[in-house]
Structure 1
């Protein structure tokens, strides 16, 4: 198995060979994790069931950093246990095949995890060098940063409004103390570590795609100004960073496959070419499927317009092309790179107060009236007690629709989620008491889980996405000694040498729209009968990308899918204070939107049931619209052919 230089090398000769010997083939990078929930067996499978040069793991959703910070404060760990589990299972294969490993599973303590792995390596008698990347944790200077204006991630757009509590902690940080402040790092320290001979690198909060960029840059010895190549590898990293999302997980076309197609999915692999283009694929012997549709769905996931940002490169994806090469092999091209911004994202989590929730069920007849009774009773009691106005958040969310002429009680049941937040724990305790106070006056047939633990107030973490100058970061990579007693060597990494300011994001309706009646008779049907889509969160915002399959469908869809159309599809969920951005990806027949403000403060502090926006696309696909009949017939024929 070739190492990162394109031939079998020991780690001690790696640094010399990576710059002296041109690679003989593309680098093959396998992902093993998209969240801390991914088990270690995924890393083992990626190492065992086919050739790979590098295994990367992305364990750190934003909420993971906050949880890791609190964990470290309580017991000193602060790294992701499933990352260590993967190394424990895979280390023999990693050593045998000389596979490089780059994980962000270090979370708030990359040094601690690296030292744990270092001990394991030496206990098994292997000659593998372990390193770790630091610099993302800015807790030591967060109060210095907060003493000056700390811009919100979306502050450059004056049309964007925030949820009412988004900036409240900036006014009283002593009342809502910060527990984590993590800057998003790029690829430079990773490449430096590989250049210095590391076989296993443990990172903290590097951006999701940075391990892939760093591996490709080391393999090809790219310079910091190879922006097109870096941008291409950035998108390759984006496409495989979410575990099985590119091989069938979270796939909106799932209903056209038998459920058995989604058992034991293997994560994706990126083969990155010398020019930065990539082939997205998977191991033949692992389950799942890679198609242009699975790749497009992952591409539009968690974008923020046509410019994809990393602290080392900006990727202009306006002209991206995604084309099937062969079975389970999809070629991605058309990405253009530019210098990065002088800033990077800083994710700040702070103690926001307390929250609680209560779930109540209603069955059968006149459900809306029942929920009206429940909401009015609770509000009336809280008002009588003089505390209704003391809640920061108090929402009565009605979830689900009961079946007409139900065939079971479950089919006729919906529930209400009463969600509350307050900085005062006693306020939330009184909500519990107020519900008990009115309990026996409940609406007909009220029932609920006997487990009322959700009603007990519990602390929650507020979230503030900021931007900071990259010059505020002191980034390093440390290579641990070959033996347990040998001194470690730390290397400082400078900020990007070339940057350029961010321009305002593009936002436009389609050029030269076509009259919709041109496409003939229509059928009122779910939008999802024709289009695929994926949505996700970007701080307090939802993004959604939607696409069709043919040039003619695209002519209709780009004209149909306007900003006003999305507002109408959102129906009661649209708020007039939201801000909407729209762009198009013509080569893949996709329209992309960002709905600013729709997740409140976002992540841990969002009151939304779907606080990461993952279900939003499936809601929009379920809404009925008038679709040209011939397109639905085309789609049905295409599905039938796929299953022949």
Structure 2
């Protein structure tokens, strides 16, 4: 054996906190992050989240074109790089990288196990793929239809002896919930504990987002600290509370602020829904206990809702982006002239009604009295969607015809491929009854044959959502803001009203949007959800920031009046 130490964790199950390391928060996460998490210290589980709103549709399109096997390639890379370490250290792995075909990924893993004679059992979870479900779309237009399922299949697989469990569209926190249920022997009605595991899964599933990446306070620290941050580890106690940490010697940080930022990221108010439990977040507490160790507690749980999210993707048509740049003076008038020229030519050619969407967007504001040209440069984005590619091709040709009739100083980027029509798909969020899901886990043996299949029962009880029954699971943005001192909290909570948020959104606010607001007094935070602002979602949004990643940073840069007495306090680094 190599110098890698054995965990020996099976004998300690249920006697100490379970250590769960996460290795991925998105489809582009490289495989070596899994090997790092496995190699740099002892952990009991490794989880990984490779799926986001649009990934399933990408895999469906690739399978339809004969260029994909349904699973995420980076997840397979991670398993290939890490299997030896996983085998030696007896680490269990639960990931959603199976995408649309966890069975195919499981068979690939079994081939690797057979080739190297690893002492590992691989399993996959089924039941999330609901293609054929009765929807309002033509069957030929539907690319994918997947339900967000819970941890039940994962638990059954672990109980049956599986070491690697490969899932498709399980809910983001399901791998962590399943690992905790198996480790501690929780029942599916231990709602307070399940809520703790659910929130730990939420904290871990975006990988580096809780250890320094995407951290709004990064500018107060040496920048070198955020190069190649270590990914997180959750140590979950029997009661569902946890310590968030990372491997010693890795870059980044785990502080109350990094944990608060990730906690407020992507939640839906103070009631957070999952296929296994409804978590009530009002009394969440975050406390630094030592360097890079933060205690997270205070969750309460209720039975899950009777429905779960159903992600439907259908073919939306074709899209293109035509990008041009301007520098210097009168930028707005330059772009206005360009738009007038383009619209006049579209009218001449009878193309005004040919587009489902045609937007002229100005990105950036030129600096006054610049010292170099890029400070003075902005760009113009002509974003178009149509049912067929022909209008988009005509738009590109029309813009080429205008090459010598443009405003002063127009220039393009070298890469013009964004102007070519490309197909896109639309995300349609819906709900499906949990009782309609036929979930199971399947264990493989040598040669990739299924040797055992275990059907999963449905949750023993449901609880309707009450006041939030009209909750829209679709294209929204989360915005969480917090202060550091209790002396500021009372002013801050009264200042950050719904009307205040509308005014901070400014010119981007539209009357068809809807706002929700909740408070988390234990962490001095106010959280908003802005419904409808992303249009039809990531895969077809017309916004440049189509995931809403930069929205809160935009709000934070706004100038507001604050009581003068608060200016005496300066922020300190929290080491």
* TM-score, scaled relative to structure 1: 0.86
1:86 maps to 78
2:275 maps to 311
Among 210, 233, 240, which residue is 2:204 paired with? 240
- Taking the aligned partners of 1:545 and 1:4, their CA distance within structure 2 comes to 37
Among 10, 30, 47, which residue is 2:38 paired with? 47
- Taking the aligned partners of 1:254 and 1:56, their CA distance within structure 2 comes to 26
- Taking the aligned partners of 2:53 and 2:504, their CA distance within structure 1 comes to 29
1:173 maps to 138
2:51 maps to 60
* TM-aligned CA deviation for residue 264 of structure 1: 1.2
* TM-aligned CA deviation for residue 429 of structure 1: 1.8
Q: Please say if 1:378 is aligned against 2:342.
A: yes
**Contact (CA 8 Å) 1:547, 1:589: kept in 2 or not?**
yes
* TM-aligned CA deviation for residue 487 of structure 1: 5.0
* TM-aligned CA deviation for residue 70 of structure 1: 1.6
Q: What is the CA RMSD across the aligned residues, in angstroms?
A: 1.7
* TM-aligned CA deviation for residue 489 of structure 1: 0.5
- Taking the aligned partners of 1:480 and 1:278, their CA distance within structure 2 comes to 33
The residue matched to 1:361 in structure 2 has which SS?
A: strand
The residue matched to 2:317 in structure 1 has which SS?
A: strand
1:561 maps to 496
2:3 maps to none
Structure 1 outlier segments of 4+, above 6 Å: none
* TM-aligned CA deviation for residue 631 of structure 1: 2.7
Question: How many residue pairs were aligned?
Answer: 568
List aligned pairs for 1:81-480, cutoff 5 A.
Answer: 81-139=73-131, 141-142=132-133, 145-146=134-135, 170=136, 173=138, 177-480=141-444
- Taking the aligned partners of 1:78 and 1:466, their CA distance within structure 2 comes to 22
The residue matched to 1:388 in structure 2 has which SS?
A: coil
**Contact (CA 8 Å) 1:30, 1:267: kept in 2 or not?**
yes
C-alpha distance after superposition, 1:396-434 (max 9, x if no partner): 111011111011111101001110001122121221222
* TM-aligned CA deviation for residue 56 of structure 1: 0.4
- Taking the aligned partners of 1:590 and 1:609, their CA distance within structure 2 comes to 28
* TM-aligned CA deviation for residue 439 of structure 1: 2.8
**Contact (CA 8 Å) 2:443, 2:450: kept in 1 or not?**
no
1:610 maps to 545
**Contact (CA 8 Å) 1:480, 1:489: kept in 2 or not?**
yes
Q: Please say if 1:624 is aligned against 2:521.
A: no
**Contact (CA 8 Å) 2:107, 2:448: kept in 1 or not?**
no
Q: Please say if 1:499 is aligned against 2:462.
A: yes
**Contact (CA 8 Å) 1:59, 1:80: kept in 2 or not?**
yes
Q: Please say if 1:29 is aligned against 2:42.
A: no
* TM-aligned CA deviation for residue 635 of structure 1: 2.5
**Contact (CA 8 Å) 2:20, 2:45: kept in 1 or not?**
yes
- Taking the aligned partners of 1:76 and 1:246, their CA distance within structure 2 comes to 32
Among 466, 475, 480, which residue is 1:545 paired with? 480
Give the gaps of 5 or more residues in structure 1: 8-21, 147-169, 508-536
* TM-aligned CA deviation for residue 629 of structure 1: 3.6
* TM-aligned CA deviation for residue 257 of structure 1: 1.4
Among 66, 72, 96, which residue is 2:63 paired with? 72
**Contact (CA 8 Å) 2:121, 2:164: kept in 1 or not?**
yes
| CA spacing shift, 1:365–1:271, aligned 2, 3 Å | same
1:157 maps to none
* TM-aligned CA deviation for residue 76 of structure 1: 4.7
| CA spacing shift, 1:428–1:609, aligned 2, 3 Å | same
**Contact (CA 8 Å) 1:4, 1:100: kept in 2 or not?**
no
* TM-aligned CA deviation for residue 3 of structure 1: 5.6
- Taking the aligned partners of 1:451 and 1:79, their CA distance within structure 2 comes to 30
**Contact (CA 8 Å) 1:3, 1:100: kept in 2 or not?**
no
The residue matched to 1:459 in structure 2 has which SS?
A: strand
* TM-score, scaled relative to structure 2: 0.96
